[in-house]
Chains A and B, each alone.
Chain A
Amino acid sequence: MSNSHLFLPSGFIRTPLQNGLGRYIPQLQRITLKFCKSHGGSRGVRDFIESDLMEFAKTNPGTVVYLKPRRHRSPCMVAEYLNGEREYLSCHEFSRDEVYKWLSYMCTRSGIPVMRFRKYQHTDYPTIQGVWNPFTHQAPEINVAEFPHEVLSKPNDQGPTATEQLIEIFKKTQMEDPANKPPN
């Protein structure tokens, strides 16, 4: 039991607009990379832009990539999602690989704020056969039965009692050896 989830909102897994049911629409609308052209903290971002950015943009044609050089400011990325949410991440002193990994993380998000999932499945149709109620599987005979009833008043899964079992055993032994029957 950790306390890292105390203030994290919790919920059931969900997706905006039944995404994936019809077609999958990548939810990342646009990503803005802000960096400094000279400061050392932006080196990873600059390296990423020079090497991996074009490939990223080609594999995600549904996401607009904006580059915003800002002097004397530490680098950051702001992701905007189709449901209107924004995610801000500071990329100060990130390496090129870290930038790439966080960027791919942003691609997989849907914009729904981070929350603890109570369950990893969700359905809008929780029951198909119908929820149990006390009348399910009841014999229709109870409607016109007069109680106490010799069959329905008893529990329906009751087996023979110990006394009855002993009597049965005794009767069996009686029948097996008729010579041992006590003379009348």
Chain B
Amino acid sequence: MVLDTVAYCRRLTVAVNVISKRNFKAHWVAPTLREFKRRKVIEEDRSGGPKIFHRSTFLEWNYDAEIFAFSNRLGEKFDDSSLRAALTHKSYIEREKARLSDIGLDSNLHFQDNEALSQKGGEMMSKFINGYLRAVFTQVPEELISAMHDFLTSNSTLETVAKHIGLGDLMLCADFPCKTETYVKSFKAIIAALAESSGEERARIFVQDLVVTQLYGQDVNELWNPVDPVGNLAAILKREGKAEPEFRLIRQAGSNSILAVYYVGVYSDKHFISEGAGESLEIAKEMAAREALKKFFHTEDSMRALPFGRQLKNIQSKIEQLENQPNLPFSEWISEKVMSAVH
């Protein structure tokens, strides 16, 4: 498939890295090239940047070879028709139909677009991500699971993933440079195409390897913060039948200065739960309650490393089981109920 219409646009810079070598050029070469560059810069500034062309406009382009390489790069086997359908957008089909009818030809195009595949793929991806999160974060309330899921399925994350597996050159779409939604749609459709071709198991592993790994490096506590941590901590302890939380000042320094620091500890029946630091007593108290909740949910800074890739072999069945089983919501969270599900 070749984009027949000349597809180019303007961009800020086009970079080519050269592995440089020592070479001998005549004395007039450098000044000539400098002058060319100067004129080119002026011209490009006037028109808003250098032209960039879609890769398919190059002479060296073979769509079939590119598709073959795409599936091999990922280590997956795709059905040819499913993969091509996943990469074809409605906008492209409409544009081709319009072009053919303009010329006067009958538009009997047998293209299939990726609307249905994208829808199905999006649902599957959500399901797989939720399964993983619930299997790894067993002690965590459902609100944090949804926050992590929303981060992983956000447009920016999926666009990055789609770009870095090479979808940019393979997609058949009318917009160039391709919009975020186009990338996201194609990526979701690819997942559905993979499930159709190689089975749901392979699609699950694909999502775990490509999408879920984007969670690495993210602090999960930045994705979701519980409202009113002090009140919620008291509620949780009450539900568990423990004594209510007592906040005590345990360290302080520089009370009358800008750089004041207060450490507040949370105790339940004189047993230490956690401590938190802050610039004022109220902040320190809230941080202490947050730390206590982090300790309950096993999401402290010292929490276990997330498993990826081969480390998931043993828990795949557990992941599958938990895909449709949400965790406890925050308002009902009790440690006894989550203790039974041990990671």
Contact = CB atoms under 8 A, between A and B. Distances in A.
Interface of A: 16-18, 21-23, 25-26, 29-30, 32, 61-64, 66, 68, 78, 82-90, 113-114, 124-125, 127-130, 134-135, 138, 140, 143
B279 to A, nearest CB: 14
Interface string B1-45: 000000000000001111101000000000000000000000000
Given A124-B216, A130-B302, A22 B164 contact: no
A129 B308 CA distance: 23
Given A64-B65, A130-B302, A21 B72 contact: no
Contacts of A62: 69-70, 72-74
Contact of B301 (A83, A90, A130, A138): A130
Given A22-B212, A61-B72, A85 B66 contact: no
Contact of B68 (A61, A78, A82): A61
A99 to B, nearest CB: 13
A26 to B, nearest CB: 6
B166 A68 contact: no
Given A64-B66, A124-B217, 18 more contacts: A16-B164, A17-B214, A23-B75, A25-B75, A25-B165, A29-B73, A30-B69, A62-B69, A62-B72, A62-B73, A78-B16, A84-B168, A85-B15, A87-B18, A88-B18, A134-B253, A135-B263, A143-B249
Given A32-B60, A124-B216, A25 B73 contact: yes
Given A22-B308, A26-B73, A87-B17, A66 B164 contact: no
B309 A21 contact: yes
Given A130-B302, A135-B251, A29 B209 contact: no
B17 A22 contact: no
Contacts of A22: 208-210, 212-213, 308-309
A64 B62 contact: yes
Contacts of B109: none
Contacts of A90: 21
B69 A89 contact: no
Interface of B: 15-19, 21, 59-62, 65-66, 68-70, 72-75, 160-161, 163-166, 168-169, 208-210, 212-214, 216-217, 249-251, 253, 263, 301-302, 305, 308-309
Contact of B15 (A64, A86, A140, A143): A86
Contacts of B160: 17
Contacts of B253: 134-135
A128 B300 CA distance: 9
Contacts of B249: 143
16 contacts: A16-B164, A17-B160, A22-B213, A23-B74, A61-B68, A61-B73, A66-B61, A66-B62, A83-B163, A86-B16, A87-B19, A88-B19, A89-B19, A90-B21, A128-B302, A143-B249
The 5 closest A-B pairs by CB, nearest first: A22-B209, A62-B73, A61-B72, A124-B217, A66-B60
A38 B54 CA distance: 31
A85 B302 CA distance: 37
